[in-house]
């Protein structure tokens, strides 16, 4: 899918699962790690960070994307998301990732690296993006 090698896929999944260990989840206890693959092969990670004021919590996927943008990068080529049960990203994260990726591979895995492969546009089929603003 999109020219991602098996080695890149495995490195991305490992990075997401390792990042998951750093999540701050004292309330839900649902740790999430995300890892973005950049075009130059670098990987940017993020974790979910909860807050006692629940509305201020941020998901791992958005943490990784915002970290990427703050480092001057605006595109990624694949993402791995690691949860305890290979859960799918929320709608807000799907929308944010679409802004910076297009239809890229998404690897949804559990803490052991087992799961499934899909694409961002499969997760958000009727997405809204910059192309809709004229």
Q: What is the CATH classification number for the domain harbouring 35?
A: 3.40.140.10
Question: Is residue 48 predicted with pLDDT exceeding 60?
Answer: yes
Contacts of 22 (CB under 8 A, 6+ apart): 33, 47
**Is residue 1, in this structure, part of any structural domain at all?**
no
What's the total number of domains in the chain?
Answer: 1
Q: Across the chain, what does the average pLDDT equal?
A: 95
Give the confidence band of 2 by pLDDT, cuts at 50, 70, 90: low
Please choose, from the candidates 88, 75, 77, 12, the residue with its C-alpha nearest in 3D space to the C-alpha of residue 46. Answer: 12
- For the question of whether the overall pTM of this predicted structure is more than 0.75, the answer is yes
Catalytic residues: 61
Quote the tokens at residue 109. Answer: 């895995």
Helix (H) / strand (E) containing 35: strand 33-37
Query: Cα–Cα distance between 1 and 117 in angstroms, integer?
Result: 9
Full residue range of the structural domain in which residue 24 is found: 6-132
**Is residue 53, in this structure, part of any structural domain at all?**
yes
**Is residue 44, in this structure, part of any structural domain at all?**
yes
**DSSP letter (8 states) at residue 15:** H
Residue 116 neighbours by CB distance under 10 Å: 10
Share of the chain above pLDDT 90, in %: 90
């Amino acid at each position: 899918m999109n020219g991602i090698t098996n080695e890149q896929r495995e490195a991305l999944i490992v990075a997401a699962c390792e990042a998951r260990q750093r999540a701050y989840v004292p309330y839900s206890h649902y740790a999430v790690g995300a890892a973005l693959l950049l075009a130059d092969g670098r990987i940017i990670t993020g974790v979910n960070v909860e807050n006692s004021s629940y509305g201020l919590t941020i998901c791992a996927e958005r943490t990784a994307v915002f970290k990427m943008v703050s480092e001057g990068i605006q595109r990624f080529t694949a993402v791995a998301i690691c949860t305890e049960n290979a859960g799918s990203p929320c709608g807000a994260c799907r929308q944010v990732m679409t802004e910076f990726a297009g239809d890229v591979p998404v690897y949804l895995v559990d803490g052991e690296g087992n799961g499934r492969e899909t694409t961002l546009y499969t997760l958000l089929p009727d997405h809204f993006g910059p192309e809709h603003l004229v």
